[in-house]
Amino acid sequence: MKIILLGPPGVGKGTQAKFLMDRLSAVQLSTGDLLRAAVREGTELGKSAKGYMDRGELVPDDVILGLIGERMQELGDKAVIFDGFPRTVSQAEGLDSLLERLNLQVDKVVELVVDDEVVVERLGARRSCPACGRVYNLMFAPPERDEICDDDGTKLILRDDDQESVIRNRLQIYHKQTEPLSEYYQKAGILVQVPGDGKVDEVREKVAVAFV
């Protein structure tokens, strides 16, 4: 089973992906997490991606498809939840042909729908651990100690790409480049839309309905 979580930055795709992983015994594949790990490790991929990420722009499709291609070889027919990928029609087409070669297909796309202003508010309250990558939200899921990572005691940071001007840029890019995927998957008959602005548990319940 291959599932895509679609939705703007900050809508809670990562959080919902974690629930679905447990429920469906699936692996989460987040291109954002893979890229951030590459930046932390200082690899060639990380170096070439960092500028795009800091500006809130998309990393070029060929880089992303190369990254996904490698993983798909390793994962084969395991259940996978794609989080933050695909982000352009060209990435979606690339994924379709990658899967086709492996005799597989995308089974379901869950789109989390939310207003831009909710995203701006949520991401402004998001903090990340620069050492381990764990993500907190000062409004909904704060750390135990003020702005300190529960796992390793590192001071949390506001990601460069969670600054308000960058968030607004990311939202514009989302509407222009990623939102067309909603129609792409609707035409394929595999799209389920879920409101993403409730409490985490409410959204989880609604997402779960798509898998009964």
d(CA 24, CA 38): 27
Going from the C-alpha of 4 to that of each of 8, 81, 141, the distances in angstroms are: 13, 6, 24
Contact string (CB under 6 A) for ligand AMP, positions 21-60, x = contact: ----------xx--x----------------xx--xxxx-
Shortest distance, position 83 Cβ to ligand AMP, whole Å: 7
Active site residue 87: yes
Contact status: 162 vs ligand AMP (CB under 6 A): no
2 binds ligand AMP (CB under 6 A): no
Tell which residue, 70, 62, 83, has the closest CA to residue 17.
83
Of 28 and 206, which has the nearer Cβ to ligand AMP? 28
- CB of residue 104 to ligand AMP, shortest distance in Å: 19
By CB under 6 A, is residue 64 in contact with ligand AMP? yes
Task: Please give the size of the binding site for ligand AMP, defined by CB under 6 A.
Answer: 17
Nearer to ligand AMP, 35 or 207 (CB): 35
Asked whether 15 and 7 are in contact (CB, 8 A), the reply is no
3-state DSSP assignment of residue 126: strand
* Integer Cα distance of 16 and 208 in angstroms: 10
Residues labelled as active-site residues: 13, 87, 126, 159, 170
- Interface residues with ligand AMP (CB under 6 A)? 9, 31-32, 35, 52-53, 56-59, 64, 84-85, 87, 91, 161, 170
